[in-house]
Amino acid sequence: MRLIYSLGVRLYGAVIRTISPFNSKAHKWVAGRRNWEKRYREILRDCEGAVWMHCASLGEFEQGRPVLEAVKAQYPNRKIVLSFYSPSGYEIRKDWKGADAVIYLPLDTPSNARKLVSMMKPSLAIWVKYEFWYHHFQALRAERVPLILVSGIFRPSQVFFKPWGAWFRKQLKQMDALFVQTEDSRELLKQHGIPSKVAGDTRFDRVITLAENAHSVDPVKGFVNDQPCLVMGSSWGPDEKLMASYLAKDPELKVVVVPHEVNEGHIESIESLFEGKSIRYSQLTPASPECQVLIVDQIGLLGRIYKEADITYIGGGFGAGIHNTLEAAAYGVPVVFGPKYQKFNEAIGLIKEGAAWSINDQSSFDKVINRLRTDEVQRREAGAKASMFVTTHAGATGMVMDMIGARMRALDGAT
């Protein structure tokens, strides 16, 4: 199985390199790893003994971020290295000031893994949610570097739990601690002889901090101007079409659309849906004519824009799956999203609490939004339940930090 895995990894790398001239994401994946060994020797030169966190992409970074910030606060002299697998995480956070170095994870080959771990000599490695790279795990184990998983989530459908998944389960057994989000995950691992601890999802701690410290985005606040407002976060085409149809019947509602992709083609398609009703954030001035729809054509603002919402709609539910619902819920506003939410425990929990609704077509979209628009009591109650849901699930970071603290004390004792 090891040989098959290694061949599969190399084949994957070859495919990415082959398509990179024709695919922008693949191009960034390849370019970011080009001559990595030479560059990383310089980047990681002063990072010996660092706490190393690896994230697949941006969403996993937001889960791991509270832990890194807690490490930095409690151990200010300890270096922090942050790695990403996907360009969508690295490109946005490559200049994040909370880390001493931000890098791409090299392709998972034995040589690459040994070289990276040798350069860094980390004191602790933290993997967020998933991505289990065999050769990097082996290199860490060879150097006796503790490896922990944060905010893990496991399901019977995963490769670890297949009849032929014994080799993959060994990777989990090599980890020094697994902090999982749910009791179901803990029980599933237990059935296969893998101990774990339910800590919850560290994103709850992150979104609470964001909401408590968020400052209004003044141009957005001015656009809303105390009128009823719906914020569409991380929207895609199907989500935006639902909103455009609804607005034809509700001329009083202000809508802020924050698309998942802000390329020119997507922005223009949104403008065509809301023809004559919209203005871009980049073009908004105090003298701009009053419009019903604001299209945010910049990244990095969504977490603060939710502050202006009376209702939130989270995109992605008509595609691969919904995006982050917790950022919106933390502000104490109702949450609405599309039909593909079943893999997201927080979305399931919000629905059970009466804080969120799933829609599957124009009719159900109109019905839910109308109800929240006209029934202020229900809207406020749903918002309060959303806030309470987030608050009651906080605390995962503290549990993880207890374990990290023990590791740091052991290191201090050894020195």
Give me 184's structure tokens.
């179901």
Tokens for 85, please give them.
């697998």
2-200+395-414 and 216-392 agree in CATH topology: yes
Sheet of 254-259: strand order equals 278-280, 293-295, 254-259, 229-235, 311-314, 335-337, 356-358
Q: Please answer whether residues 54 and 116 qualify as being in contact, where contact means their C-beta atoms are separated by less than 8 angstroms.
A: no
Along the chain (415 residues), what's the average pLDDT of each consecutive run of 10 residues? 93 95 94 96 94 94 93 93 94 94 97 96 94 95 95 94 93 94 95 95 93 94 96 97 95 96 94 94 90 94 96 96 96 98 94 98 98 96 98 94 88 64
Q: What pLDDT is attached to residue 286?
A: 86
| Fold entry, domain 2-200+395-414 | Rossmann fold (3.40.50)
- What is residue 130's predicted lDDT score, i.e. its pLDDT? 86
- pLDDT at site 414: 57
pLDDT at 409: 84
How many Cα atoms are found within 13 Å in the side-chain-facing hemisphere of 220?
A: 24
At residue 300, the pLDDT reads 86
Burial 66-93 (b: 16+ CB within 10 A, else e): bbbbbbbeebeebbbbbbbbbbbbbeeb
CATH topology assigned to domain 216-392: Rossmann fold (3.40.50)
Give the three-state DSSP class for 408.
helix
Residue with tokens 């929207």: 235
Residue 345 near residue 355 (C-beta atoms within 8 A)? no
Domain boundaries, the chain: 2-200+395-414, 216-392
Type of residue numbered 150: V
Prediction pTM value? 0.83
pLDDT at res. 216: 94
DSSP 8-state assignment for residue 34: T
- In this prediction, residue 415 carries a pLDDT of 52
Q: How far apart are CA 106 and CA 84, in angstroms?
A: 9
Q: For residues 414 and 84, is the Cβ–Cβ distance under 8 A?
A: no
pLDDT of residue 413: 67
CA distance 278 to 294: 6
CA distance 254 to 228: 6
Vertex 86: Cα angle to 104 and 128 (nearest 5): 85
